[in-house]
Chains A and B, each alone.
Chain A
Amino acid sequence: MSTQSQRFAASSRVLHWLMAVLVLTMLFIGVGMAASESARYSTLVAIHKPLGIAILILVAIRLVNRLINPPPPLPADMPAIQRFAAHASHIVLYALMFLLPLVGWSMLSAAGYPIVLFGPLHLPPLLTQNATVYATLRQLHTILAYLLFATFLVHFAAALFHGLIRRDGVLESMASWRSGR
Chain B
Amino acid sequence: MPDNLRDSTSRRKLSTTAVLARLLVIGVVALGVAAVFAYAGGWLSPDRLTQARVITAFEEVNGPHPGFRRNHAKGICATGWFESNGQAASLSKAALFAPGKVPVVGRIAFAGGMPFIPDEPNTVRSLALRFLPAGAEEWRTGMINIPVFPVATAQAFYEQLLASKPDPATGSPDPAKMQAFAADHPEFVAAIDIIKKRQVSSGFADSTYNSLNSFRFVNSAGASTPVRWSTVSLQPFVAAPTGDASADKNALFDALIAEVAKHPVQWRLVITVGQAGDPTADATLPWPADRKEIDAGTVTIDKLSSEDDGPCIDVNFDPMVLPSGIEASDDPIPSARSAAYARSFTLREGERKVKPPSAVTPQEVSSVDKS
Contact = CB atoms under 8 A, between A and B. Distances in A.
A167 B10 CA distance: 10
Per DSSP, are chain A's interface residues mostly helix, strand or loop, or mixed? helix
Nearest to A135: B350
Most chain A CB within a 10 A radius of its CB, from B314, B318, B323: B314
Per DSSP, are chain B's interface residues mostly helix, strand or loop, or mixed? helix
B21 to A, nearest CB: 9
A36 B339 contact: yes
Given A37-B54, A112-B315, A114-B138, A42 B328 contact: yes
Interface stretch (A10-18, A59-67, A95-103, A158-166): A158-166
Interface stretch (B41-49, B110-118, B178-186, B356-364): B41-49
Contacts of B169: none
Given A113-B321, A120-B324, A37 B8 contact: no
B40 A153 contact: no
Interface string A15-44: 000000000000110011111111111110
- A interface bracket (residues with beta carbon within 8 Å of B): 35 or more
A77 B5 CA distance: 13
Interface of B: 1, 3-8, 11, 14, 19, 22-23, 25-27, 29-30, 33-34, 36-37, 40-42, 48-54, 137-138, 154, 158, 313-316, 318, 320-321, 323-324, 328, 330, 332, 334-336, 338-340, 345-346, 349-353
26 contacts: A1-B3, A1-B4, A6-B3, A31-B40, A32-B41, A34-B41, A35-B48, A35-B50, A35-B51, A37-B50, A40-B335, A42-B335, A45-B338, A111-B316, A111-B345, A113-B321, A114-B321, A131-B350, A131-B352, A132-B349, A132-B353, A153-B30, A164-B22, A167-B5, A168-B5, A168-B8
